[in-house]
A and B are shown apart, each in its own frame.
Chain A
Amino acid sequence: MNEMTQPYRLAEAAPVSWFQFATRHRASIASLVVLVFPLVMPFTALAVNILIYGLYALGFNLVYGYLGLLSFGHAALFGTGAYLCGIAIVHFALPWYAAIPIGILGGLLMAALIGVLAIRTRGIYFAMVTMALSQCVYYLFYQAVDWTGGENGLRGINVRVVDILGVKLDFINPLTRYYVIAAFVIAAFFVLSRILASPFGAVIEAVRENETRAKASGYDVTVTRLLTFILSGGFCGLAGALQALHLSIVPIEILHYDTSGIVVMIALLGGMGTFFGPMVGAAAFLLLENLVSVWTVHWQLIVGAIFMICVLFFPAGIWGTLISRGKR
Chain B
Amino acid sequence: MAGLSLNLVLLQLFAGLALGAIYVLFAIGLSLIFGMLTVVNFAHGAFYMVGAYVGVYVLMLGGNFWVCLIVVPLAVGLLGLAVERVLIRPLYGRGIDYPLLLTFGLSYVMVELVRIAFGKTGFPFDTPEVLQGAVNIGVGYFPLYRLFVIGATAAVLLALWLFLEKTSFGLIIRAGARDPQIVRVLGVDVARVWLIVFGIGTAIAGFAGLLAAPLQGVIPEMGSTILAEAFVVTVVGGMGSIGGAVLAGLLVGVVVSMTSLFAPEMGKVSIFALMAVVLIVRPQGFFGRAGLMS
Interface residues of A (CB under 8 A from B): 70, 117-118, 120-125, 127-129, 131-133, 135-136, 139-140, 143, 257-258, 261, 264-265, 268, 298, 300-301, 303-305, 307-308, 311-312, 315
Contact = CB atoms under 8 A, between A and B. Distances in A.
Interface centre among A122, A135, A311 (most CB of B within 10 A): A311
The A interface, classified by DSSP as helix, strand, loop or mixed, is helix
Contacts of B112: 298, 300-301, 304
Contacts of A140: 269
A219 B269 CA distance: 36
Given A123-B96, A264-B101, A307-B105, A128 B40 contact: yes
Given A128-B231, A135-B272, A307-B105, A301 B116 contact: yes
Contacts, number: 118
A318 B186 CA distance: 42
Given A143-B265, A257-B224, 16 more contacts: A121-B235, A127-B100, A131-B228, A132-B228, A132-B231, A133-B275, A133-B276, A135-B228, A136-B272, A257-B227, A261-B104, A268-B101, A298-B116, A300-B109, A304-B105, A307-B105
A140 B266 CA distance: 9
B97 A304 contact: no
A132 B97 contact: no
A308 B113 contact: no
B137 to A, nearest CB: 31
15 contacts: A118-B279, A122-B294, A124-B96, A124-B97, A125-B293, A127-B40, A132-B229, A132-B235, A133-B272, A135-B228, A264-B104, A304-B112, A307-B101, A311-B91, A315-B98
A305 B110 CA distance: 10
Contact of A300 (B111, B224, B231): B111
B38 to A, nearest CB: 7
B253 to A, nearest CB: 16
Pick the 6 closest A-B CB pairs, nearest first: A304-B108, A136-B272, A307-B105, A301-B112, A135-B228, A128-B231
Interface string B256-274: 0000000001101100110
A131 B231 contact: yes
A129 B104 contact: no
A312 B90 CA distance: 8
A132 B112 CA distance: 23
A132 to B, nearest CB: 5
A114 to B, nearest CB: 10
The B interface, classified by DSSP as helix, strand, loop or mixed, is helix
A1 B279 CA distance: 69
Nearest to A120: B283
Interface string B89-131: 0110010111011101111110111011000000000000000
Nearest to B232: A132
B153 interface: no
A285 B48 CA distance: 28
Interface residues on B, range: 35 or more
Given A298-B116, A312-B102, A315-B98, A307 B228 contact: no
A139 B268 contact: yes
B108 A311 contact: no
B108 A300 contact: yes
A308 B111 contact: no
A261 B108 CA distance: 10
Contacts of B283: 120-121
Nearest to B111: A300
Nearest to B265: A143
Contacts of B40: 124, 127-128
A278 B265 CA distance: 38
Contacts of B294: 122-123
Interface centre among B96, B98, B293 (most CB of A within 10 A): B293
A301 B272 CA distance: 31
B101 A132 contact: no
Contacts of A305: 105, 109
B67 interface: no
Interface string B230-261: 01101100010000000000000000000000
